[in-house]
A and B are shown apart, each in its own frame.
Chain A
Amino acid sequence: MSRFIERHAIWSLIILLGVALAAWLIFAVWPPGLEEAIGRKKVFLSAVFNGITLGGLYFLVASGFTLIFGLMRNVNLAHGSLYLFGGYVGYGISSATGSWILAFIAAFIVVAVIGVLLQLLVFRRMEGQDLRQTMVTIGLSIVFADLMLWAFGGDFYQIQTPAWLIGPIQLPLMTAMKSSGEAVFLQYPLVRLVIFCGSVVIGIAMWLALNRTRVGMIVRAGVDDREILAATGVQIQLVFVLVFALGAGLAGIAGVVGGTFQSISPGEDTRFLLASLVVVIVGGMGSIPGAALGALIIGLAEQLGSVYIPTYAIVVTFLIMVLVLALRPQGLLARR
């Protein structure tokens, strides 16, 4: 961190000022002039929270994508289909058993098994042929999308939020001051916060597993140079299968989260594939912290954009991608 400040003094200053400004916007009671200029603070705070929690969801999808890409150089364009399928599995389980937690477990396992099958039956046969693998994932995404349309129809499904998570929670953040001097606090849906905390926990667990365990060390070595890793006697095929299972399983979990947050329907696969692409391009290919940072940026940009400039919201997301590609083509947190 201190090295970064030494080497990029101006950037550090800009980032610091941005963080300070954001903190002031979030915690201070807005003066009337500001409220007139850009609307009420409640709208802004809700957008920020929606952005952060959406970022959590994007992180779940994109971390699996970036993990698979980082280790296997496989741009899995069927990742959105895995997300959608996870959502459908979660919906089926939760409506059959009524258990939300069980939906997560089932979605993770089922989608992870699909990931294992894909790696064993398809991608292992064409190892090292990046472009061909990508073409195959495109073909698979078409086939999966149509099979799911066949099986589940074009309807919208929403996974039932469990009773103990329904309802808003009061956050210690003031949105306004009443004329009587009484503070008005922000109300926010509890389930979104719980899910966000869940994705943070998953993110930290992944970081710890990658940086503190032996398997994580092998995976990191594989990201750097898989030929040398294979030459040292590590069973690289097993590592590939495990990582693919984990990445796919995360997409499955994300599907359940997305089905609870929003809804699942045909077309969501493309939406989340695009989100993972942009997140990974912005954050840096193959980097888990990069995926977290990228997901946060894109989630915030999307939500704030759709509140303040509704018809050009997607342009903001896109401009961020362009800016990153122009300044740091390898992504914000990639090493190379």
Chain B
Amino acid sequence: MSLIQEAQARDGGLTSRGAAARPAAWSVTEQPWAWAVAVLLLIMPIIANGFFLIEIFGTTLILGTIALSLMFLAGYGGMVSLMQLTIAGFAGYMVAVFGVSGNANISLGWPWWLATPMALVLAVLFGTLGGALAVRTEGIYTIMITLAIGAAFYYFTNQNWAIFNGHTGINTIATPHFLGIDWRMDVAFYYLTLAVAALCYFAVLYLSRAPFGLALQGVRDNPRRMAALGFNVNAHRIAAYAFAALIAGMGGVLQVWNYRQISPGSVAVERCIDILIVAVVGGITRPVGPYIGAFIFVILRTFALDFLVKVGLDGNRFRLLIGLGFLAIVFWSSDGVIGLYERWRKRGERGEARTRPGGHGHG
């Protein structure tokens, strides 16, 4: 609920603080079983075969990383940006345009070590400009503007043939080879995504406790007071957009390496909203939330068809399932799956049913 309360607190001048006063307190380093998860992730290639390794765990880590950028903006900055997938898709397109692909008339054919940083720089630029636009207005308007940016980019990629190759997109994009390893091989690619995801995760965790992150949380809670204290509110917000764009861009680069093709379908409005769903379902107050949400989302997306057919329903109703699940989470849990877990744990500790302070806004 914290995010929503934050928004309320800003809009209505309320000062009630939610349970997530210290959002970073619940991190991997303080949970004993987190070490088990970390070890499990490291030895995953021994347990899982190619399909599970890439289609489930690799995809989860990529999706989680893109959603992490939204979590950073929403959880610490109070800005719900729906254009994070657009930034990721933009980075992916740039990798395809500057790097090597099957569409030789579009791709410039740069080596990967030049094309990737270029794509990331451009993605950060895109995110920063979009952020500068979004911070012109506040709160609820951010969603509208970022959604409009995302939708405009989707329609633009559909219309434009010179750079984005219209609705067919760009195919057979080259993936990096270095140190004698083909980094698109299952195990190598899995470790690559794991490394990037871990890097982004710990970067967000670090930043949430660094002076910049603390100032950002101050801006989220009370922009007016922060401005009075001499902080440049808009500069902090735009810097947050830039950092989130870097994370989203890395996720986008990995995604384009994973699928080896990109088309407007990858940046459609539904995909942008999927990222919000992933982040909200996982929990938007802690960096681990997006990864949990992404895992649930990927599992559902992969197995919903079989499951629905088994129950006797039409297998194509996957999005209905996702939508209803999302509605249920928004209705009953303030903070996604993490919120549910926390409530359950608190109940266990105290031995009595006690709602979290953040959960009172339900009735």
A positions within 8 Å CB-CB of B: 73, 75, 77, 125-126, 128-132, 134-136, 138-140, 142-143, 145-147, 150, 270, 273-274, 277-278, 280-281, 285, 310-315, 317-318, 321-322, 325-326, 329-330
Contact = CB atoms under 8 A, between A and B. Distances in A.
B140 A73 contact: yes
Nearest to A325: B136
A136 B4 contact: no
Q: Chain A at the B interface: mostly helix, strand, loop or mixed?
A: helix
Given A150-B314, A277-B147, A270 B140 contact: no
B361 A126 contact: yes
A310 B140 contact: no
A146 B136 contact: no
Residue of B11, B159, B363 most packed against chain A (CB within 10 A): B159
Given A138-B326, A280-B144, A329-B137, 16 more contacts: A129-B7, A129-B8, A129-B361, A142-B277, A142-B322, A142-B323, A142-B326, A146-B317, A270-B151, A274-B147, A278-B148, A310-B159, A314-B156, A314-B159, A321-B148, A325-B136
Given A136-B330, A281-B145, A142 B273 contact: yes
Contact of A139 (B12, B148, B327, B361): B327
Contacts of A322: 133
Interface string B1-14: 00110011001100
A134 B148 contact: no
Contacts, number: 126
A133 to B, nearest CB: 9
A170 B319 CA distance: 48
Contact of A131 (B80, B162, B270, B316): B80
22 contacts: A75-B140, A77-B143, A125-B362, A129-B4, A129-B7, A129-B8, A130-B8, A130-B11, A132-B361, A134-B140, A135-B326, A139-B323, A139-B327, A143-B327, A146-B317, A270-B269, A281-B148, A310-B159, A314-B159, A321-B152, A325-B136, A326-B133
A311 B324 contact: no
Contact of B159 (A128, A312, A329): A312
Contacts of A73: 140
Contacts of B327: 136, 139-140, 143
